[in-house]
Amino acid sequence: MTRTAVIAGVGPGLGASIARKFVAEGCAVGLFARSSEFIDDLADELNGDGEALAVETDITDAEQVAAGFEEVREAFGPVDVLVNHASGGAWKQLMDLSGDEFEQAVAVGTHGGFYCSQEAVADMLDNGGGTVIFTGATSSVRGNEGALAFSAGKFAVRGMAESMARDLGPKGIHVAHVVIDGGIRPPNREVQNPDDYLDPDAIAGSYWHLVEQDESAWTLELDLRPYTEEF
């Protein structure tokens, strides 16, 4: 069955790996990012094997999100899968943060996740179900030094995912939160100890597993880390 997926927050790392995996599995994919510079090239690449659409979208703007989803619907039909992947970070401690920096960092995950979920879930409710995945981090469950705004946003997103899962599970919509507990191997540079990093393609495979899970055994929270990481 062909699915229509939206990935909100696509860059050259994990977002691109998720897009490639979903297209390889037969999805038509809408790629959302605030700048079209990377997603235009990625869409060209993916259209060699499937269907992809680059949509320049500021997901903190409700009107832009609505317009972006309408572009995807016109191209591919109603949305079956949403990955809320975008996050914002102002890597500063309390006394160094400005109010604007804090608000922007939190808004990307919370407002963006809210607006994108409303659009996608409206389609899913009309069409018998779907999947919403939120990308979390170590900071979703444990605050980190120098990451006040990032941690605040990630904690909020985790709560959003858990609440949505309770509301929407009985209606056939699988909502899952993925804790990425470790660094993700960067796409464009070598690292000294690759085994200390999560492979973005392997993470993407886990996301696809969530999409295909039977409703009798849905995952609410998936915790991923490299095998070298201490628990």
Identity of the residue numbered 58:
D
> How is residue 48 written in tokens?
């060699």
Residue 30 covered by a domain: yes
* pLDDT of 228 above 80: no
Q: What tokens appear for 109 in the block? A: 């995950």
Q: How far is CA 28 from CA 3, 51, 63, 68, 109, in A?
A: 6, 5, 23, 15, 24
Q: Phi, psi (5° rounding) for residue 177?
A: -120, 130
- pLDDT band for position 7 (cuts 50, 70, 90): very high
Q: What is the number of helices (H) and of strands (E) in the chain?
A: 6, 7
The answer to the question of residue 229 being in a domain is no
Does residue 202 lie in a domain region?
yes
> Whole-number mean pLDDT of the chain?
94
CA–CA separation, 108 vs 102, rounded Å? 11
Q: Which domain holds residue 212?
A: 4-224
Q: Residue 92's domain is classified under what CATH number?
A: 3.40.50.720
Q: pLDDT confidence of 83, banded at 50, 70, 90? A: very high
Mean pLDDT across 204-227: 96
Name the β-bridge partners of 179. 136, 223
Q: Compute the average pLDDT of residues 99-115.
A: 95
CA–CA distance, 190 with 192 (Å, rounded to integer) = 7
231 within some domain: no
- Asked if the structure places residue 90 within a domain, the reply is yes
Residue 113 and residue 134: Cα distance in Å, rounded? Answer: 8
Q: State residue 210's pLDDT score.
A: 98
How many domains are contained in the chain?
1
Any idea what DSSP says for residue 92?
Answer: -
The pLDDT tens digits for 35-61 are 999 999 999 999 998 999 999 999 999
Contacts of 209 (CB under 8 A, 6+ apart): none
Whether 174 is in a domain gets the answer: yes
Residues 134-168: pLDDT tens digits?
Answer: 999 999 999 888 889 999 999 999 999 999 999 99
Distance CA 140, CA 231 (A): 15
Torsion sign, CA atoms 191, 195, 201, 204: negative
| CA-closest candidate to residue 52, choices 7, 119, 113 | 7
For residue 216, tell me if it sits in a domain: yes
**Predicted local confidence at residue 230, as pLDDT:** 59
Residue 230 covered by a domain? no
